[in-house]
Each structure stands twice: as C-alpha cells, then as structure tokens.
Chain A
Amino acid sequence: MNVDTDTKHTTEAPAAPAAPVAEAVRRPRRVPAWVAPAVVAVVLLSLPFSTLRIPGLFEGTLNSPSTLHVLATCLVLGGLATSYDLLYGRVGLLSFGHALYFAAGAYLAVLLMGILELPLLWSALIAVASGTLLALVLGAISLRVSGIALAMVTLAFAQAGSILVVRDPGRMTGGEEGLSLNPDLVPDAFIGVVNTVNLYWLAVGYVVVALGVVWWLSATPVGRVWQGIRANEQRVSVLGVNPYPYKLAAFTVAGALASLGGVVYLVVSGGVTPAITTAEFTLTLLVMVSLGGAGTRWGPLVGAVVYTYVDHRLLQLAASDVFDGLPAVVRAPLSQPLFILGTLFVLLVFFFPGGLAALPSRIHAALRRRAAAA
C-alpha cells in the first residue's frame, strides 16, 4: 500500500471506512479481493498516528484519547454486530437474545476479577469459555423451535439474564449501577488516559478476530450449509443434512464471539452497566446490522460504527447548546438519540433495503440508468 492511498483514506475513514471498500468488493474482476481488507487495515492501523483534525466529526485530533476511545467503542460494537450477523444474516436465525452472551462475557469477567481477584487474562478466558458454554446450552434448547418462536424464546432467556443482573442477587452485580473494573488487576498498559491507544488496539484486535472467524467459517463447507439453511431450511433437510447441528454451531460461535466482545467492552469502557443486558440492546444490534446490510462482508461492521458514532454524537449535541434556539416541540425529541435512530431505522427499512452495503451498487445502477437515458 503506497503513501498516497493511505493518506487519502485516512481523511475519509471516520465517517465510513468501508464505503470505498464495499465498492471494491462489488467489482472483483478489476480489484483483487485482498485490497479491501488491506485498505481497511491500513486505515485502522494508521489512525492512532494521525494528528489530523476533522472539524464537525471529532472534537480533537484523530489520535487524541477522546477520539480514540469513541473509535474503540465503535469497533467493539462493530465486532459484536458482525457476530450477530453470523446468526441473522448468514444463517437466517432471528435471535433476540444476543445481548445475553455479550453481557455474560463482560459481567463474568468483572465478577471473577472482583470476587476471586483473578488477573484479567484468566478472568477473560474463563468468562469467554462460560459464555460459549451458555450459548451452547441455551442454543440447544431454543433451536428446538424456529422462526418467530425462536425469536421469542431467545428474548425470554436474555430477559431472564437481564432481570438477574438488575435484581442484584447477593449484592454482586451492582444492580442498576453496574460494576467498574478494578484497576489493580488490569495490566498497566490499559490504564490511564495516556494508554487509550492500547484500548484502541485491543478493539481493533477484536474486530479482526470477529471478521476473520465469520468470513473464514462462511467460506468453509459449514458456511455453505448455513447459506442453504438461510435460503431454504426444508430443502436442506430433504437433501439429507440435519440443519440442527449446523444452526447450533452458528449459535455457539456467535455466542463465543459475543462474550469475547463483552470482555473487550469491559476493558475499553472500564466497567459494565445493565444497559448491555437489555432487550433494547439486542434490538439496537439488529438495527446496526440492517443499517449496514445483513449477510454482507462489511455491512454489520459499517452499520455498527455509523450507529454508535451517531448515537454518541447525538448525545453530545443534546447535552450541548446546539438545540437551545429551537422550540421545545422540536428540541425534546431531538434530545433522544433512540427516537431519531428508531425513526431513521423505520425509514431505512422502507426506502433503503439492503442497508449501506447496497449503496455502491445502487449508485452504480442509478448512474448506468442515467447513462442509458442520455
């Protein structure tokens, strides 16, 4: 990758790092397949070294701790959305309980560190292993039903977890307050404002793992059975393949990736709150995936990054005096990011099916139509 492309993409990166990339994926004959991941990797790797200022998008320079922290959060949710898309986009399973495995990773890790005073690495390993096991067991039960019933059942399990956390049994989970990370047990490299860049690297690492696992599995024979299940489950079983173990495999892998994401999220944000256990959180994951484009290579990541960034930005704007001049009727709804994002999502479903990942091909089609007309 030469310096030219590098700087060019750095300037565009925060808004939509993969917009030019998705275009590249659409035209495999002209651009080799490795170019897209390479460009994204270079952009992500060069961000912490860039002192560029993007007024309007970020407050400080790109490598300032506050910007890096926002980006790290965006990336963690990007990885999580990618793991959710493994279920929703790749296998066609509508799960409304993905927050449970994310929260399981985060809460188990923080509890292991708080109660048993295990170091971060061991807590993380045990938390991810337990989260994976949880996904395996609950998946085995919930996948006995399919379609909408599956959605309801996974939602119910996740709700049970959410209630458990909020009710605070034995004063362990901190209830509504959540828990914060004990800094003594976390490696020094992740502590302090100066080391925000390391949190960013951690988030980048998680995204690479999540994307890598999902892409790799989708390319294996298992991935092809998933594709078949997504298209027509009945036909898959008629062909003599029992879909159940394949669905359970997808559920478990997605759960494992989600609990890993939970641990990373815990370290990046320095604590957990019950907000990540709720059904609303899973619903926002669904919004992220549909926003980016379900079942596409980059869609979930892009959707999650855009959603998380916009959410963060709207909260900032609501807290600032930007809206003060507006009448109360307009100001009140604008101060609720969830209202804006929910409404945008409804409009998106209507006028923009396929999400952001479908954008390049739509533009192409429009240009071609115009060219044909002219």
Chain B
Amino acid sequence: MSTVVLLVVTGLGLGALYFLIASGLSLIFGLMDVLNFAHGAFLTIGAYATWWASVYLPGAGGDGVGFLVAVAFGVAAGTLAATLVELGVIRPLYGRHREQILVTVGLSLAVPALVQAIWGADPLPFPRPELVSGTVTLLGAAIPTDRFLLIAVAALVLAGLLLFGTRTRYGLIVRAGVEDRAMVTALGIDVRKSFTLVFAIGGAAAALAGALGGLYFGVITPFQGTSLLVFAFIVVVIGGTTSTVGCAVASVAVGMVQQFANYYTVAGLGDIAVVIVLAAVLLTRQGGLAKATAGRVA
C-alpha cells in the first residue's frame, strides 16, 4: 500500500512537471501551429536563471523568501526569453510553419550549448529550501516533500490557465483562435497579438518547470530541457491541443505510467511504456491530434 501511495504521489509530481511544459507547448501549437522545439531551451533558461539568482542575486537565496525571489527571477528570465523569441524570430516567419520549426530547432541546439559554454556540462547542485526538504509520511509512505510542491504549483497553474481562458477577453480570443483561427481573424480580431502573449505564458510555465525540475531532480544540466520536452510532446499528442484539462489528464497519465512501469518492471522500461501507450493511442483513436492538424500543417 505504502509503495502504491509513494508511486502515485511521485507520478503526480512528474505529471505536474510535464503539465507545466506541455500546457504552454499545446497552447502555442494549438493557436499558432508552431511546434516549439525551443521550449526546452526556455526550461533550461528558467532553471539556470533560478540557480544563478539563488547564488549571486542580492535578496535571493536558496531558502525561504530568498528562494521565492530566485524562482521569480527565473520565471521572469524565461518569460523574457520566450517573448524575445516570438517577437524576434517567430514573428517574421508567420505563415511559414516549416521555417518556424527549423528556427526553433536551431535555438534548441544553440541555447543549451551556450548555457553549457558558460556553466559547464556537469550537473549543478540545485538549492533546496528547508520547507521542501525531507519527507512527509502519508498512509505509511515516506514521500519527498517537493512532490507536493510540484503538484500544488501545477494545480495553481492549471486553475490560472482555466480562469484566464474563461474570464478574460484575451483568454477568449486565444480559445477561439485555437478552435478556428481563420474565423476569429474574419471577425476583425487581430489574433497575432495574442501569439506573443501565448508564447510569454508558455515561456513562464516552462521556466517554472525548470525551477521545479531542479527541485525534483536535485541537479540541473544544460540539456535537461530537451529530454523532458520529448515527454511533453508525447503528452501533447495524447492529450490533444484543444483543451488545457485534456493536457492535464494526459500529463498525469504519462507520469503515472512511467512511475509504475519503472517500479514494477525494469528501470527504464517506464519511459518505453509511455511510448507504447502513445502507439496504442494512435492506433485506436486514429490520431486525436491528427484530425485537427492534418489540413493545417504541411
């Protein structure tokens, strides 16, 4: 029983991490048809900015309020990076999906390499605040406290995104744009303004995932984002791009499958089990994502 509880909570924590990455990814993809390979780079930027702030920034630190300041700094850096990428690189290539993908591919290679050039390829130890170090006993299972933080933050982000989507004008435009971009444009609304916004939101969530991923794994590496991104892609394919809730469900499912398969079979098989689930979804559902995208992306 205690093992199951531990696996469930850890799986939820991992799913929370995936959700933070995949939610931005699926928003960007749903609205703009841009498969954003640079999303992993935003995560790397967020993680390293948080680490840097906790060490060097006055007022920030590895514990308590200082850590919150450091995370805020990391999220701000990720948001800024995403906004700059959208304005500087994606915007001039609107309507040319292939080129947009190629550009984000270039960034996904260049940014982690730059980070590696500055801080080295070795894993850097990530600060761990007092509050989330150690374990909590729940139903007989000793669970690392940071898992709860991850789940709570992801739940907050989910609630925030849902509120943004239903209660604000921009959220309405974004949701309508995901549904049918041409129609929104035909109604005289400039959908492109919300592109930058969506990128900024995605960048912020990815940077937050970077900081929380640092807690989850204990260390940060330059190419961490790229490997997490692959699972986020899988989440997006399984969950579809039309709803944030679908994305959350898929994130949890992928995190759970991974944790349980990793524990009850050979370590490493969990990651492969996720791919098998993906194949099964594709074979049975005739590709949930494909229906929405086949006609839109060459």
Contact = CB atoms under 8 A, between A and B. Distances in A.
Interface of A: 92, 94, 141-142, 144-149, 151-153, 155-157, 159-160, 163-164, 167, 169, 234, 279-280, 283-284, 286-287, 290, 332-333, 335-339, 341-343, 345-346, 349-350, 353
Given A159-B271, A164-B272, A341-B109, 4 more contacts: A141-B283, A290-B102, A332-B117, A336-B117
Interface in B112-171: 112-114, 116-118
Given A147-B298, A234-B295, A156 B105 contact: no
Give me the 7 closest cross-chain CB pairs, A-B, nearest first. Answer: A342-B110, A167-B268, A342-B109, A338-B113, A339-B113, A145-B287, A345-B106
Given A145-B290, A146-B290, A345 B109 contact: yes
Contacts of B294: 145-147
Contacts of B289: 145, 148-149, 152
Interface in B17-32: 29
B297 A346 contact: no
Contacts of B237: 145, 149, 152-153, 156
B118 A152 contact: no
B92, B234, B296: which has the most chain A beta carbons within 10 Å? B234
B291 to A, nearest CB: 9
B114 to A, nearest CB: 5
Interface string B89-100: 100110000110
Interface of B: 29, 33, 35, 37, 89, 92-93, 98-99, 101-103, 105-114, 116-118, 223, 226-227, 230, 233-234, 236-237, 266-268, 271-272, 274-275, 278-279, 282-283, 286-287, 289-290, 293-298
Chain B contact residues: helix, strand, loop or mixed:
helix
Given A146-B294, A283-B37, A349-B103, A153 B282 contact: yes
B107 A342 contact: yes
B109 A153 contact: no
B275 A157 contact: yes
B295 A144 contact: no
Contacts of A346: 89, 103, 106-107, 110
B116 to A, nearest CB: 6
Given A163-B268, A353-B99, A149 B287 contact: yes
Nearest to B230: A159
Nearest to B110: A342
Contacts of B111: 342
B105 A152 contact: no
Among B109, B234, B298, chain A packs the most CB atoms within 10 A around the CB of B109
A287 B101 CA distance: 11
Contacts of A350: 92-93, 103
A287 B236 CA distance: 24
B106 A287 contact: yes
Contacts of A287: 105-106, 109
A139 B92 CA distance: 34
B29 A148 contact: yes
A163 B271 contact: yes
A156 B233 contact: yes
Contacts of A280: 109, 223, 226
